[in-house]
Amino acid sequence: MNTNALTAQSCSLFEIDAQLEAAFDQMQEEREMSGNISDESRERCVQLFGEFGKKIDRIAAYLRTQQHKGNIAGEEAQRLQQRRRSAEQRVSDEGMLIYFMRCRGLKRLEGELNTIRLQTGSQASLQIDDWKLPQEFCLHTGSIPHRLLKEMLEHLPDGLKEEFLQAMINTQPNTQLVRDALLRGETVNGAKLETQKSHPDRLAWYAPKLAQTFHRKEACLLRLKINRRVRRSVHVKCPRHPRYNPERDGAGAIRGGCRHCVAIYQLYAGKLVVERSLQALEQQIARCAVFNAAAT
């Protein structure tokens, strides 16, 4: 390597150290062969020592810079955290709006782009007395041998009714059937609906998302209601190539046309297609919302 081109800015610490070691070896050879060390070799070692020191200074400056950046980022994170707490505190101070809606008997407030709904903390809980509840509101479970079950499916002859009843080991209320009967106004012995306060009244905020972009009550040419909540977690791997990752490796890394790897890649490709379609749909709806706002 040319020593003149060897600088602390263009070379790493390892390269400078390697050249410095080679220069010392050359000086040692010159001393063994001629008994003297040339001025050129001495000058080269001095230059390498200088570049070595400059490289150490550059490394130290880089480390200090990164440390300062980390400190600045930490301070910024604390500032943003304080702003988040302040914003959440302002949102929690909603008592005046709840008071306004209660005084006027309002359950919801509708604006041009948002809707605020008052959520009450009351919910009717079902109270059941198992001893007083009629049998027609109960579910019966039992342990039935396969022989009895097979014969029961053949309309259960009369000779097996007593044996079938003896197999019943548990009886429990059918809560859905009891609740439906009480909501219809019927009287069910041993059951009643009680209203309990599970949490204080609160407000529910509805932002202008996909399902509410076209919400105006005027006559319009298009009204969309889109529900896109899809939550599915899939963990799969190829039994032959367990290290294959379609997101990282792509289709070109499939070995020998493995059908398991192909299926995994097709699943990943389908996910990408769905995400791109949703992004395109959101962009199109946003553009239409702008047109709708401009028209009004």
pLDDT digits (tens, 9 = 90+) for 255-286: 878 888 888 888 888 888 888 888 888 877 77
Q: Among residues 139, 164, 197, which one ends one of the domains?
A: 197
Rounded to the nearest 5 degrees, what angle is found at the Cα of 119, between the Cα atoms of 116 and 120? Answer: 150
Is 181 part of a structural domain of the chain? Answer: yes
Same domain, 172 and 217: no
Is 290 part of a structural domain of the chain? Answer: yes
Averaged pLDDT for residues 80-104? 78
Q: CB of 130 within 8 A of CB of 189? A: no
Q: What share of the chain in percent tops pLDDT 70?
A: 71
Same domain, 166 and 235: no
Is 203 part of a structural domain of the chain? Answer: no
* pLDDT for residue 216 is more than 50: no
**Whole-angstrom Cα distance, residue 129 to residue 145?**
31
Q: Which residues fall within 8 angstroms of residue 164, CB to CB, at 6 or more apart? A: 144, 148, 152, 156
Whole-prediction pTM: 0.31
Torsion angle in degrees (nearest 10) through CA of 252, 256, 260, 262: 30
Same domain, 128 and 83: no
CA dist 215 to 40, 163, 175, 260, 279, Å? Answer: 85, 62, 38, 46, 21
* pLDDT for residue 215 is more than 60: no
3-state SS class at 80: helix
Place 131 in a pLDDT band, splitting at 50, 70 and 90: confident
Q: Where is mean pLDDT largest: 48-57, 87-96, 188-197, 220-229?
A: 48-57
pLDDT at 169 (0 to 100): 60
- The region that residue 2 occupies, defined by phi over 0 for left and psi between -120 and 50 for alpha, beta otherwise, is beta
Same domain, 127 and 71: no
Same domain, 233 and 192: no
More confident residue, 12 or 288: 12
Is 253 part of a structural domain of the chain? Answer: yes
Boundaries of domain holding 85 = 3-90
Same domain, 86 and 147: no
Same domain, 217 and 140: no
Same domain, 74 and 137: no
pLDDT at 295 (0 to 100): 57
Residue type, 220: C
Q: Which residues fall within 8 angstroms of residue 197, CB to CB, at 6 or more apart? A: 121, 122
Query: Pairing mode, if any, of strands 138-142 and 168-173?
Result: antiparallel
More confident residue, 133 or 205: 133
* pLDDT for residue 65 is more than 80: yes
Place 217 in a pLDDT band, splitting at 50, 70 and 90: very low
* pLDDT for residue 95 is more than 80: no
Q: Report the chain's mean pLDDT, rounded to a whole number.
A: 76
Sheet of 115-119, strands arranged across: 108-110, 115-119, 202-206
CA dist 185 to 134, 179, 180, 182, 188, Å? Answer: 16, 10, 9, 5, 9
Same domain, 12 and 60: yes
Q: Which residues fall within 8 angstroms of residue 168, CB to CB, at 6 or more apart? A: 140, 141, 142
* pLDDT for residue 208 is more than 60: no
Q: For residue range 135-174, list pLDDT tens digits in order.
A: 888 877 766 666 666 666 677 667 666 666 666 566 678 7
Q: Among residues 150, 166, 197, which one ends one of the domains?
A: 197
Q: For residue range 34-57, list pLDDT tens digits in order.
A: 888 888 888 888 888 888 888 888
| Tally of structural domains, the chain | 3
Same domain, 129 and 178: yes
**Whole-angstrom Cα distance, residue 210 to residue 208?**
7
Q: What share of the chain in percent tops pLDDT 90?
A: 0
